[in-house]
Amino acid sequence: MRDPCAHCEEMMQPYLDRILTEEEMVEAEAHLDECESCRRRYRFEESLRVYVRQAVNEQMRPELKEKLAALRIPLE
Amino acid sequence: MTDGATVARVDADPEEVEGAQRLAAGARDRVRFEEDALALSDQVYRVARHLANSREEAEDLVQETYARAFRSWRSFQPGTNLRAWLLRILTNLNIDRGRRRQRAPQTQALEANDYFLYDRLAENGDGISDEEKVVERLSQDDIVSALSAVPHDFRDVIVLVDIGDFSYQDAAQILDIPIGTVMSRLHRGRRILKRELAETATEEGV
C-alpha cells in the first residue's frame, strides 16, 4: 500500500492549480481532513502562492502610462 | 471625429460614400482596440516587471510591446483574448532581446521533497503554528530577488500562471510551447523558487 502522505504531496500542486478530477479531489480532501501534517503543508503552500502574487505589486509609473498613450496612432 | 462618412450628402458618389464609411469604421475599431489595450497596461507591466531584470528594462519592454501592438492591431482577432495577445508580443520581444543567452536551464538536482521550504522555515519558527505567519518570515524583497534568480524559461511560466493568472493553455499559447512543457517547467520552476527562498532564509538566518 502506498504511503498516503507521499501520494498527498504529489497531489498538492495539481490540487492548488485546481486541475484534479472530482474523484482525485475528494480523495485528497479526505486525506487532508485526517492528516494534520499534510494539512499544514498544504496551507503553507497556498499562502506562499498568495504571498508571491502580492510581492510583485509594483505599480507602473504614471510617466510610462502617458508614454504609452502617446504611442497611439493619430487619426488622419 | 470619425463621423464624416455618416453625414455624406445625398448627391455624393455611392462608391465614395462606401469608402468613407469603411474608413470611419476602421478608425473606430482601431480607437476601441487602442483603448482596450491601454486599459490592460497595468497587468502587462506587472508581468513585464518580472520577466525583465530591472524596472528600466520592464518599461522599455512595455513601450515596445505597445508600439508593436498599435502598429499591428489588424492582426488581432476581436473577441479573442487581448491580454494574452499583448503578452505574447511581450514575451516574444523579451526573447528577441537575447536573454536566452543569459543562463542555461538548471540541470542540478532539486530537492525531491516539495515541502522542504516549509520544513526549513517551520523548524526555526519557535513553535509558530499558523502557516501564514510562517510564510511571513520571508520579506517581500526576498520573494522578488528569489524570483529573479529563477532562470528565464522557468520564470516565464511562473509569472504567467502564478502571477498573471493564466491557464496552462494560455501560457502555452503565449510562450509557444506545448502544454506539457508548461506543466513541467512550472513544477520545476516552483521548486527552484522555493530552493532560492530556502537559501535566502539560511543566509539571513530567518
pLDDT digits (tens, 9 = 90+) for A27-40: 999 999 999 989 99
| Chain A interface with B: residues with Cβ < 8 Å | 9, 12-13, 17, 19, 40-41, 43-49, 51-61, 64-65, 67-69, 71-73, 75
pLDDT tens-digit map of A58-67: 788 899 999 9
Q: Distance between CA atoms of B202 and B206, rounded to whole angstroms? A: 6
Q: Reduced to 3 DSSP states, what percent helix, strand and coil does chain A have, rounded to the nearest 5?
A: 70, 0, 30
Q: Other C-beta atoms within 10 Å of A2: how many?
A: 7
What value of ipTM does the predicted structure carry?
Answer: 0.79
Rg from Cα positions in chain B: 23
Give the contacts of B178 (CB within 8 A, at least 6 positions apart).
B172
A13, A56, A68 ranked by CB distance to B49: nearest: A56
The answer to whether the CB atoms of A47 and B143 lie below 8 A apart is: no
The C-alpha atoms of residue B145 and residue B108 are separated, in whole angstroms, by 20
For residue B148, what pLDDT is reported?
84
Q: Which three cell numbers stand for residue B141?
A: 524583497
From residue B54, how far is each of B60, B100, B144, B177 by CA, in Å?
10, 16, 11, 25
Distance from first CA to last CA of chain B, Å, rounded?
Answer: 61
Averages of pLDDT over runs of 10 residues in chain B (206 residues) are: 53 84 86 95 90 87 96 91 93 77 54 76 67 79 86 90 88 92 93 89 75
Contact B66 A71 (CB under 8 A): yes
Q: Between chains, do B163 and A69 touch, taking CB under 8 Å as contact?
A: no
Alpha helical stretches, state H, chain B: 14-39, 41-51, 55-71, 82-96, 116-123, 131-135, 140-149, 152-158, 168-175, 179-204
DSSP A34-63: H-HHHHHHHHHHHHHHHHHHHHT-PPPPHH
**Nearest CB to B132 within list A41, A47, A55:** A47
| % of chain A with per-residue pLDDT over 70 | 95
Minimal Cβ distance to A56: which of B50, B135, B136: B50
Across the interface, of A17, A68, A75, the residue whose CB is closest to B38 is: A68
| Chain B residues within 8 A of A19 when measuring between CB atoms | 168
pLDDT for residue B120: 79
